[in-house]
């Protein structure tokens, strides 16, 4: 039975009085998706990469996708930055751990993608993962970069691509 079709039935207490839900469906319960912003930006970047003449097959696509990892819960900046004097250092220490986790996870992801897609050679796994890791690190340690939408990440990634590939 699909989640939305599940009917929450009211229960009765020992006196026969109805308690609990009043016939609401599970669809009435508010949903929380912590990956909503990440997913929305991933889809927008893919559309831009495939169709927008300014971004079609753009070389900074990997960096932009890496920047979007900031929108995954647990990979953004922490509240430690609000601690006077030592907050920035503490946040950067956490950022180092996050960066290592992102690099390992992305290497694994790229390897799985190469194994599934016969057109993607394994020789591209490390460069692809490094490209995304580079974008993530740039945005993780530079709070001035906007990660709220795909266009701003693509534009920031293009600048990053030009700086690091000279």
Q: In the beta sheet, which residues pair with residue 25?
A: 7
Backbone angles phi, psi at 47, to 5 degrees: -65, -45
Beta carbons of 108 and 86 less than 8 angstroms apart = no
C-alpha to C-alpha distance for 69 and 42, rounded to whole angstroms: 10
Residues 6+ apart with CB under 8 A from 80: 87, 90, 91, 94
Residues 6+ apart with CB under 8 A from 155: none
Note the pLDDT of residue 98.
96
Note the pLDDT of residue 4.
44
Mean per-residue pLDDT over the chain, rounded: 83
pTM of the shown model: 0.75
Q: Quick one: tokens of 80?
A: 């430690």
What's the whole-number mean pLDDT along residues 107-123? 89
Cα atoms found within 13 Å of the Cα of residue 15, Cβ hemisphere only: 2
What digits encode the pLDDT tens for the residues 5-18? Answer: 445 555 666 666 66
What's the whole-number mean pLDDT along residues 138-143? 92
What digits encode the pLDDT tens for the residues 53-95? Answer: 888 888 889 999 999 999 999 999 998 988 999 989 999 999 9
C-alpha to C-alpha distance for 80 and 87, rounded to whole angstroms: 5
Is residue 165 predicted with pLDDT exceeding 60? no
């Amino acid at each position: 039975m699909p989640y939305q079709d599940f009917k929450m039935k009211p229960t009765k207490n020992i006196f026969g009085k109805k308690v609990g839900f009043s016939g609401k469906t599970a669809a009435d319960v508010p949903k929380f998706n912590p990956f909503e912003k990440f997913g929305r930006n991933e889809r927008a970047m893919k559309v831009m990469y495939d169709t927008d003449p300014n971004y079609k097959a753009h070389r900074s696509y990997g960096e932009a996708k890496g920047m979007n990892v900031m929108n995954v819960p647990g990979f953004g900046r922490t509240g430690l930055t609000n601690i006077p004097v030592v907050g920035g250092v503490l946040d950067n220490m956490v950022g180092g751990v996050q960066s290592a986790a992102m690099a390992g996870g992305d290497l694994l992801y790229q390897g799985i993608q190469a194994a599934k897609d016969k057109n993607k050679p394994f020789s591209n796994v490390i460069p692809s993962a490094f490209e995304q890791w580079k974008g993530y690190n740039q945005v993780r340690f530079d709070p001035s970069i906007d990660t709220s939408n795909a266009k701003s990440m693509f534009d920031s990634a293009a600048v990053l691509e030009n700086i690091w590939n000279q």
